[in-house]
């Protein structure tokens, strides 16, 4: 009887380990990302990061099947010398097993955000409430790109497993003094350490602080640190993750804006805005206005439709939705187009 009990205990322990291992495998199959770089003959690179994060079904009640699309998180960064204001073409297709050519456009001017495919194929299964990009075997397989110094071309950009499932990564300016950086992981596999990197221009990076990872984990973990002396004006932050074998991966880039002390104030409203913003301030202060995207690129192709001594109106309707930086003579202000 004792031998039977011991055998049951050992088998139970073995079974639990197998179940846990299977859980980790299934868990990490969902933490995937597609990352590719295209180099131009003009001296700049286009770094493209794509992450299928959600299946968007047409219904949650699908006894006979359902149409669906895929929600994709993207990060498109221009690096190197002389980056353009915009590419000519940037679009992609994601394949989900037998469901091919789920098309989506990406912003030619770069940026960070989410986008949903538009092909809407029909799936005869009844898993609309539980389907994930991993369960439907979604893979980024083809990106169409052209631009200054980049001939029209299609590139393969396969999905690869991520060593961590990054739930969130934020950088917030506190009391206009220091940056609070917080991130959360849903799982970690062979994760040695994290490095917070900082930049003035989102191209040249310096290491700010290094923090140990959890190694292997299947639970939610929270991390936090601070930058006590961010740059005056824009500071960019990203999270670098390094495996025990030395391989690494990066998060999307976050930006904060620290206003220098003692400078004159400018009022911008409404903020967020859909189209128009109104700028009030001293005439000399707002005599020249520039707008930059979060990568520090000048995209001042807006239309000033009203200009008075202390008041200007600007139409942002031609810009994509997202965060922009408005710069006057001595002020830097975050503007959100919704």
Top-ranked range on mean pLDDT: pick from 6-20, 234-248, 307-321: 234-248
Q: What percent of the chain has pLDDT over 90?
A: 30
Top-ranked range on mean pLDDT: pick from 17-31, 93-107, 310-324: 93-107
Which residues touch 10 (CB under 8 Å, ≥6 apart)? none
Pairwise CA distance, residues 121 & 68, whole Å: 6
pLDDT on residue 20:
37
- Arithmetic mean of pLDDT over the chain: 81
**Once rounded to an integer, what is the mean pLDDT over residues 45-58?**
88
**In terms of Cα–Cα distance, which of 228, 198, 231, 232 is closest to 330?**
232
pLDDT on residue 225:
95
pLDDT on residue 287:
79
3-state SS, residue 18: helix
171-214 pLDDT, tens digit per residue, is 999 988 899 999 999 888 889 999 999 998 877 899 999 999 99
Cβ 184 vs Cβ 223: under 8 Å: yes
Is the pTM higher than 0.75? The answer reads no
54-65 pLDDT, tens digit per residue, is 899 998 889 899
- Output the CA–CA distances (angstroms, integers) from residue 218 to 20, 51, 135, 190, 195, in the order listed: 9, 20, 19, 12, 21
87-145 pLDDT, tens digit per residue, is 999 999 998 988 988 999 999 988 878 899 999 999 999 999 899 888 898 877 789 99
What are the b/e assignments for 103-133, b being 16+ CB within 10 Å? Answer: ebebbbbbbbbebebebebebeeeebeebeb
């Amino acid at each position: 009887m004792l031998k039977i009990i011991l055998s049951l205990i050992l088998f139970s322990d073995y079974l639990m380990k197998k179940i846990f291992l299977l859980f980790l495998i299934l868990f990490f199959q969902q933490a995937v990302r597609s990352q590719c770089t295209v180099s131009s003959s003009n001296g700049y690179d286009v770094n493209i990061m794509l992450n299928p994060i959600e299946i968007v079904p047409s219904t949650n009640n699908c006894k006979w099947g359902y149409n669906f699309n895929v929600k994709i998180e993207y990060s498109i960064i221009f690096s190197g010398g002389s980056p353009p204001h915009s590419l000519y073409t940037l679009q992609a297709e994601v394949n989900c097993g037998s469901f091919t050519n789920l098309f989506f456009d990406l912003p030619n001017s770069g940026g960070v955000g989410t986008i949903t495919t538009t092909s809407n194929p029909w799936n005869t299964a009844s898993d609309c409430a539980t389907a994930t990009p991993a369960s439907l075997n979604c893979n980024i397989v083809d990106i169409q790109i052209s631009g200054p110094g980049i001939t029209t071309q299609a590139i393969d950009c396969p999905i690869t497993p991520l060593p961590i499932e990054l739930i969130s990564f934020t950088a917030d300016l506190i009391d206009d003094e220091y940056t609070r950086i917080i991130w959360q992981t849903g799982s970690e596999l062979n994760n040695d350490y994290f490095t917070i990197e900082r930049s003035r221009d989102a191209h040249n990076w310096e290491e700010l602080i290094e923090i140990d990872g959890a190694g292997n984990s299947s639970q939610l973990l929270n991390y936090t640190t601070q930058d006590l002396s961010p740059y005056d004006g824009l500071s960019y932050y990203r999270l670098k993750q390094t495996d025990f074998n030395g391989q690494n991966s990066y998060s999307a880039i976050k930006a904060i804006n620290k206003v220098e002390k003692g400078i004159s104030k400018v009022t911008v409203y409404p903020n967020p805005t859909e189209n128009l913003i109104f700028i009030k301030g001293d005439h000399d202060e707002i005599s020249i206005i520039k707008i930059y995207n979060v990568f520090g690129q000048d995209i001042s192709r807006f239309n000033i439709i009203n200009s008075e001594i202390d008041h200007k109106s600007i139409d942002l309707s031609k810009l994509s939705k997202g965060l922009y930086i408005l710069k006057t003579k001595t002020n830097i202000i975050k503007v959100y187009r919704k």
